[in-house]
Structure 1
Amino acid sequence: MSQTVSPLPERGPSGRRTAKGSLSGNSPQRVERPAPLRQVVYDALAELIINRTLEPGQHLVEADLAEYLGVSRQPVREALQRLQSEGWVDLRPAQGAFVHMPTDEEADQLLGVRAVLETHSARLAASTATEEHVARLWELQNAGVAALEADDGEGLVTANADLHSYITELTGNAVLAELIALVDRRVRWYYTPIARPRAHDSWHEHAKLIEAIAAKDAAAAEKIMAQHTERTRQAFHERPEATQE
């Protein structure tokens, strides 16, 4: 579940979070309840982690999260336990829950798998895409360029995910689509902090990829996607916070 949320507290000079942007200072963001509540809360918290409203290393207080989402503490506790089992959250004895801090090794493993899957996806898409499919790819490309021109970080992440997802859809390979979906959320998590610095090169590479797909040049599409995913991996390791670490 994706939803628009207000930012959580910012860090002050001491490393503590300041009152500005705190949950208590914002309008409550009530979750919808058509699905089981524990699933809705899980999706909401996962999205807050992915878009980095909840930052890596941040302490997660059940009462604050429950108040923010307008639910009781029980579904929040259940969601945190599930997020912990999936690697999004660390539960530390006597300390509580914290957003997981991804390591370089974790990023390499996941982005490496993503590269293999999406490279194959690009090759298949070049073999199956019709003129209508290519026209849709250019629409998605234009949405990304518009987000780039507007300096819209969230829009860049969404447009990037939409374009890659559509390329996978063009393959008609249900197994490939299922495997890529398994890593999609975590790829978005890694991509968010590099969306802006990577944006210009990324969308230039996307344009080259679409041209190869339109020309039904499977070998070129495969090569461009391989280079594209590798540059994204490198950009993650070169992001400012990694340099500081």
Structure 2
Amino acid sequence: MTSSHFDKSVLANPVQRPAPLRDSVYDTLLELITRRRLPPGRHLVENELAEQLGVSRQPVREALQRLSNEGWVDLRPGYGAFVHQPSESEADQLLAVRSLLETEAARLAAGAASPEGVERLRELWRAGMDGLERGDTDAMVDSNAELHHRIVELAGNEVLAGLAGQVARRVRWYHGLVVQRRGRESWEEHAAIIEAIESGDQDRAAALMREHTEATRVAYHEQAADGESAAEPAEEPAEL
């Protein structure tokens, strides 16, 4: 059972202005959730969040409502707000949709990528490898997310990009759980995908991306089976 004591260190930096407070609070909380600084089941107490972020309770309340609408936070009448604790089924569905979208994105990118676009992918690959060598999980997760985003951009399909963007942040949340497990193998797969895109081999790029995203899905299920699932024990419900 996790402690109900709120770890104030995760919210050490006040929200930056001049963005509207509700947007800044939303962005800050979402970043903390996707990076698992606020883990699944964590009780989010409005007045504690407001104090740590240096804002009033109103923008916090609005941000929590928006996060609830998007499925990041569960609002429980009488108990308050809690970081959503996803099921293994949710993960499987999300990663399956991601595979479909990004497989097609890789195929299209192989037919449309410019030399400059390919070089940007290589830069991101190098950043990811640097993170791997340093054991920097955040750097690997960020580089991975940006590399996949760039491949979707290179595809040149705005509808596909919009759909992929809707799942990208959630994928980053799950990828953070398996990034160490996948390790160097994942970046070797990235390198092969980049080479296929550079050579214009659409079928190979699609096949490699399908295998790559499937490997991440399998790694997530293996992580869960090992007892290291995404969900941490929820806190006891407490009044706000």
Q: TM-score, normalising length from structure 1?
A: 0.88
Match of 2:2 in 1: 15
Inter-partner Cα distance in structure 1 for 2:44 and 2:181: 29
Report Cα offsets for 1:193-222 as digits up to 9, x if no partner.
111211211101001101111111100000
Question: CA contact under 8 A between 2:4 and 2:43: conserved in structure 1?
Answer: no
Matches within 5 A, 1:173-192: 173-192=157-176
The Cα of 1:28 is off from its aligned counterpart by 3.6
Supply the RMSD in Å over aligned alpha carbons.
1.8
Instruction: Specify the code of the residue in structure 2 equivalent to 1:133.
Output: G
Return the structure number with greater relative CO, CA threshold 8 A, min gap 6. 2
Report Cα offsets for 1:100-141 as digits up to 9, x if no partner.
011111111111111111000000011111222222211111
Counterpart of 1:110 (choices 94, 107, 117) is 94
Inter-partner Cα distance in structure 1 for 2:94 and 2:166: 10
The Cα of 1:26 is off from its aligned counterpart by 7.4
Count of residues in Structure 1 that have an aligned counterpart in Structure 2: 229
Inter-partner Cα distance in structure 2 for 1:244 and 1:161: 22
Question: CA contact under 8 A between 2:11 and 2:53: conserved in structure 1?
Answer: no
Instruction: Flag as ranges the 4+ runs of structure 1 deviating above 6 A.
Output: none
The SS at the match of 1:90 is strand
| Further displaced range: 140-149 or 90-99 | 90-99
Report Cα offsets for 1:23-61 as digits up to 9, x if no partner.
1x6784111122221111111111110000000111111
1:139 to 2:123 alignment: yes
Inter-partner Cα distance in structure 1 for 2:211 and 2:42: 33
Instruction: Specify the code of the residue in structure 1 equivalent to 2:91.
Output: A
Counterpart of 1:166 (choices 150, 155, 163) is 150
The Cα of 1:241 is off from its aligned counterpart by 7.7
1:210 to 2:197 alignment: no
Question: CA contact under 8 A between 1:156 and 1:196: conserved in structure 2?
Answer: no
Question: CA contact under 8 A between 2:10 and 2:37: conserved in structure 1?
Answer: no
Question: CA contact under 8 A between 1:111 and 1:233: conserved in structure 2?
Answer: yes
1:53 to 2:40 alignment: no
Instruction: Specify the code of the residue in structure 2 equivalent to 1:15.
Output: T
Match of 1:38 in 2: 22
1:72 to 2:56 alignment: yes
Inter-partner Cα distance in structure 1 for 2:21 and 2:40: 25
Unaligned runs of 5+ in 1: 1-13
| Further displaced range: 110-119 or 26-35 | 26-35
Counterpart of 2:69 (choices 80, 85, 92) is 85
Give the direction of change, closer, same or farther, for the CA distance of 1:26–1:232 in structure 2 (3 Å limit).
Answer: closer
